[in-house]
Structure 1
Amino acid sequence: MDAKTPSTLSRRRLLEGFAASLAVPIAAACTTDFSHRTEPPASQTIRAPATAKGIGRSLAILQGAHVVPEFDAYVDGWAADWGARSGVAVRIDRIPPADLPARIAVEAAARSGHDLVGHFAYGLPVLFTSSLIDVSDVCDRAAANYGGWLAAGEAIGKVKAKWYGYPEFAVPFLSSWRTDLWKKVGFAKAHLETWDDLFDNAGKLNAAGSPVGTAMSQTSDAEHTWRSLMWSYGAAEFSADGSQVAIDSRETRQVLDLTKALFSQEEPAVISWSDFGNDNHLRSGKGSWICDRIDAYRAIEARDPVLAEKIAVDGPLKGPVAQIGSMQFTVYGIWNFSKNVDAARQFLTDYSDDWPNQMTASKGYNIPFLKGHAQKPMPVLGADKKLTHLQDIATAVRPVGYPGPPSAAAYDALQTHVVTDMFTSYCTGKRSADDAIAEAARRLKDSLARFPI
């Protein structure tokens, strides 16, 4: 996606879908013009499978613009071919991912808009259950054909044992690091494997003029970095069933102390970084490590191949409890007010069969949720000796709310930056550990009160 997450949206706008059933009269907003309405290129040669006829005459799809333009071109071509074979006129409206939550909430409240919608980074199924159809038939077919769903896919697609979303792909947060700079300070491993590796070497790297860097601001990068750290050490926002706040723990205090020590070895500017601060830090040639999506590395690979040769990309770092990384994702849902439900179902059904081309078009950005799609060698990752070890990455990622479900309360906490505020307030000395945790617990309880399990 061309924006890392819709992190600047208000809490009300993100979670408005829960209030949609209260009949907010905003149907007029659905007439908004889209700045990126795609018409498939005539030269596109990607082939879609033969599919059922008589499923309707039109299909309107809303999705976020992908960070890899070639992937959007693939989707346009596949949809055009599928539409021609099916007798369905397919229209794709593609907007910045940061605009998706508000746009989707508007459609749910107005009960008007597109037929098939793709949400990025937030939980369409749990946030808009009452406005979506059950797509268990589509997801169960995919599971039967492709070896079943990975745990992360089930977590975001299912609500109370029913599928209200089709999980398209995961976007893990990874470690990108300068092998040459780490070697200079005595790091001899071929891969960056543990949080201890990072904590033990951050001071040496900073002393050498090559600090590690990760945001301490209200950004997507920070949200996913600190959740990854917490989960790997056994800390969590919520209990395993999601019904209780669990942030006040020994494990939370441990990761706060570790992060405060890490922060002392970073540049002070990390407290005000945007979501592109990590990217710029690594791209500058000075930064030695970031926690980010693979597109940070891909951008350097395209612009500065010499620098890219010095960068390795590894999976989520291991802690004493587990190796678990946070992730973003895209999940599709079909509105229950759509007049083209059959076409939307068939589109998703057939789309699930073309995964190899999808991953190739995304340049390895899209990570599959289906076990069969993750068989080795995977497209792109399996052919790149620097990235082959990332083929198992989907088994080590989870959505927000872990170890509990990705609930509405968990997404509320993500949107309101409870975790990053806790880390930043402690690391900058504004609050003691006890006070920072107490404030986080208060805010998490507020989220649960607003959106109980």
Structure 2
Amino acid sequence: MARKRVTRRDVLAGGTALATGTIAAPFVRHARAAGSLTLGLWDHWVPGANKATEELVKEWAAKEKVDVKVDFITSQGNKLLLTIAAEAQAKSGHDIIALPTWQPARNQRVLEPVDDIMAGLIKSNGAVNQTVEYLGKIKGKWIAVPATVGSQMKGPASRIDLMKQHAGIDILAMYPAGQAPKADGWTHEVFLKAAEACHKAGASFGIGLGTTSDSVDTAGALFASFGAVLVDENEKIIVKSDAVRQALDYCTRLAKFYPQDSPAWDDASNNKWLVSGKGALIMNPPSAWAVAVRDAPDVAKQVWHHGMPKGPKGRFGPFLPYFWGIWSFSKNKAAAKSLLVHLSQASSAQKMVEASKGYDIPSFAKLTTFKTWAEIGPPVGTMYHYPNPHNHQIQSIAAAPTPHRIAEQIYTQGMMTKMIVRHLKGEAMESVLKWAESELEGFMRT
């Protein structure tokens, strides 16, 4: 089985070849082979994680006698997104492609339906959460398979010591390792008071108000916990609803206790905040903790991953899934589907989770209790609640359930964080809502 890492130069050069239909065959068919497949997969940031996926693919390929070539494509510099766009336009390229959050809906017209294999996977692995269904099941049809690799939660990563010292909150008592949460008292108001107390003590919650994913995901989950939606399922703008007003008011009061420069934060800022030892809490998958294990072990041993605070409409946790899609122009769809079934088995998912050191989360309900999350540390158990093993919170994504073409714009433009920043700077709420309404009207015209 051949493998390769794809660079930006490759993507740009490949785009030209794809557009002209002159891309070279990336594999050689052997006499005994039952066809060939090429995969364009996300290049994992965890050392060794790619190898686990590669070995699973190799295992399947040897059994089925299929020649397989895997390209690991980085998301840095939008290389993966460039590859997806080039192949979709040219209708040529890999057979299977990794698809970040909004890409299944964007490319639905050139993706092969996978209802036939999803029915079996759901039966064996359990149901998927509502966010996965919203993003991967379009007009009643599954057009991509939820991937273990790359899928992540972005809930709280709290400092055990600082939360207890400054806010009087015992995170370990609320979220004990190996047990169901005891967090009925973990509410918005308690969260707000804790943010204020930690801020006054010089250990502010490291939550951003920028327009990149981490900031948007947090704002989206908080809005969802009020039932606040900017545009409904029928494309009706409802930004001036009471729910949106309540969410905006709460988020603005909370934001007063964020770092002063939070509107300028990107996805690296909260990681740096935690590793520096400055903050009592950030919203992030375990990547920040993993860096702290390496660079700031005294910080790492005090970090605990757990659920979101509860709002009026429930407890919503930011979840960003990846998907594996099969292009409709694939020459070997049957083999592609067979491989995706293999990669989606519980045994395969467990190997991927282990290789990612617990970062990756399968989207199926029965696959959230692997021992990796309970055993990894320091401190041991820090990731036990990360994959939501007790279905303690609703996994959500900002802008759902708005139709995808509008929701993606709300998400990528950071509408919710921009609203919070404007109100935080003193703009009257009604003025902010009027501005947002105008922006949304523009999104609906595009």
TM-score (norm 1): 0.82
- Partner of residue 118 from structure 1, selected from 88, 98, 104: 98
Equivalent positions of 1:264-413 (< 5 A) are 264-353=256-345, 354-374=348-368, 376=369, 378-383=370-375, 384-392=380-388, 396-402=394-400, 404=401, 407-413=404-410
What is the match of residue 87 of structure 2?
107
How far apart, in 2, do the equivalents of 1:250 and 1:26 lie?
52
Structure 2 residue 155 is the aligned partner of structure 1 residue 157: no
Kept after mapping to 2: 8 A contact 1:213/1:288: yes
Match of 1:227, SS state, is helix
Kindly state the Cα deviation for residue 32 of structure 1 after the two structures are TM-superposed.
Answer: 9.1
Equivalent positions of 1:8-157 (< 5 A) are 27-28=18-19, 56-97=34-75, 98-120=78-100, 122-157=101-136
Q: Deviations over 1:308-338 (max 9, x none)?
A: 1222211222212111122211111111111
Kindly state the Cα deviation for residue 391 of structure 1 after the two structures are TM-superposed.
Answer: 4.3
Kindly state the Cα deviation for residue 422 of structure 1 after the two structures are TM-superposed.
Answer: 1.6
Match of 1:185, SS state, is helix
- Partner of residue 425 from structure 1, selected from 414, 418, 422: 422
**CA distance change for structure 1 residues 134 and 405 in 2, over 3 Å: closer, same or farther?**
farther
Amino acid across the alignment from 2:111: L
Give the length in aligned residue pairs. Answer: 403
CA-based RMSD of the aligned residues comes to 2.6
How far apart, in 1, do the equivalents of 2:127 and 2:156 lie?
28
Kindly state the Cα deviation for residue 99 of structure 1 after the two structures are TM-superposed.
Answer: 2.3
Q: Percent identity?
A: 25
How far apart, in 1, do the equivalents of 2:311 and 2:163 lie?
20
Q: Deviations over 1:74-107 (max 9, x none)?
A: 0112212222222222112122223222321111
Kept after mapping to 2: 8 A contact 1:247/1:437: yes
Match of 1:300, SS state, is helix
What is the match of residue 248 of structure 1?
240
Unaligned runs of 5+ in 2: 1-14, 175-182
Kindly state the Cα deviation for residue 54 of structure 1 after the two structures are TM-superposed.
Answer: 8.5
How far apart, in 2, do the equivalents of 1:55 and 1:116 lie?
18
Structure 2 residue 216 is the aligned partner of structure 1 residue 220: no
Kept after mapping to 1: 8 A contact 2:188/2:309: yes
Unaligned runs of 5+ in 1: 1-23, 38-52
How far apart, in 1, do the equivalents of 2:308 and 2:21 lie?
40
Amino acid across the alignment from 1:180: D
How far apart, in 1, do the equivalents of 2:419 and 2:167 lie?
33
How far apart, in 1, do the equivalents of 2:436 and 2:216 lie?
14
**CA distance change for structure 1 residues 412 and 102 in 2, over 3 Å: closer, same or farther?**
farther
Amino acid across the alignment from 1:65: D
Kindly state the Cα deviation for residue 31 of structure 1 after the two structures are TM-superposed.
Answer: 7.6
How far apart, in 2, do the equivalents of 1:29 and 1:436 lie?
47
Kept after mapping to 1: 8 A contact 2:221/2:398: no
Kept after mapping to 2: 8 A contact 1:156/1:167: no
How far apart, in 1, do the equivalents of 2:255 and 2:422 lie?
12
Q: Deviations over 1:37-69 (max 9, x none)?
A: 9xxxxxxxxxxxxxxx98842211112212322
Kindly state the Cα deviation for residue 438 of structure 1 after the two structures are TM-superposed.
Answer: 1.9
- Once the two structures are overlaid, the 10-residue window that deviates more, 171-180 or 188-197, is 188-197
Amino acid across the alignment from 1:196: E
**CA distance change for structure 1 residues 317 and 361 in 2, over 3 Å: closer, same or farther?**
same
TM-score (norm 2): 0.83
Amino acid across the alignment from 2:36: S
How far apart, in 2, do the equivalents of 1:203 and 1:32 lie?
58
